[in-house]
Chain A
């Protein structure tokens, strides 16, 4: 199993809603990542979890709250988002934090904030 599974694939939410994005991998990877990708732009790193602990936060606004309940799951909790937060949110995982191992990406959640 070399998959990173993200749910939902599409999400439309209002600015007052609370929603969560989910990411799951069963490859035994101990590093997991959230990237944000605006249309026609490259992915930009948001958060990195290493061994279930937050190790990098790229100055992301607090309306995005990551959570890593266990080594296989990564959540991104969303609250009071703005229309400019509409983007593709990609989850990725890699085998060992701090090593040059391949990052496997999910298919992303396309988020629209209305």
Chain B
């Protein structure tokens, strides 16, 4: 079974700082997909960034980047130049494809950006 672990329940940084959220996972699959989703107080889950396991290059989306260490089964998210609007719950998720798509989420990290 696939599991996703986020070891930081809460984090808080000052605006413009860089913050890294950690995520580890466990799977016996060799080809899979990992995601970071953001859930602000509005409740809507928003995709932040995705990583295909077969790609060695770390994904980057503007201020968001990942450090994907496949052998260590680690998938951390780095947010550079953090902004107040980044305040949200962040979920790491593992995608299982069993004829249909199934996302398995970690427990989440509540990130607060302080002015």
Contacts and interface: CB of A to CB of B under 8 A. Distances in A.
B52 interface: yes
B100 A97 contact: yes
Interface string B66-110: 000000000000000000000000010001011111111111100
A90 B45 contact: yes
A48 B102 contact: yes
B99 A100 contact: no
Given A100-B52, A102-B50, A50 B45 contact: no
Interface of B: 33, 42-47, 50, 52, 91, 95, 97-108
Contacts, number: 66
Given A107-B42, A108-B44, A99 B101 contact: yes
Contact of A103 (B43, B52, B98, B101): B101
A55 interface: yes
Contact of A105 (B44, B52, B101, B107): B44
Interface of A: 31, 33, 40-45, 48, 50, 55-56, 88, 90, 92, 94, 97-103, 105-108, 110
A54 B53 CA distance: 28
Contacts of A105: 44-46
B108 A42 contact: yes
Contacts of A40: 108
9 contacts: A33-B101, A43-B103, A44-B105, A45-B103, A48-B102, A98-B100, A99-B97, A100-B52, A105-B45
A66 to B, nearest CB: 13
Given A55-B100, A100-B52, A107-B43, 7 more contacts: A33-B101, A43-B103, A55-B99, A100-B50, A100-B97, A106-B44, A108-B43
A110 B44 CA distance: 12
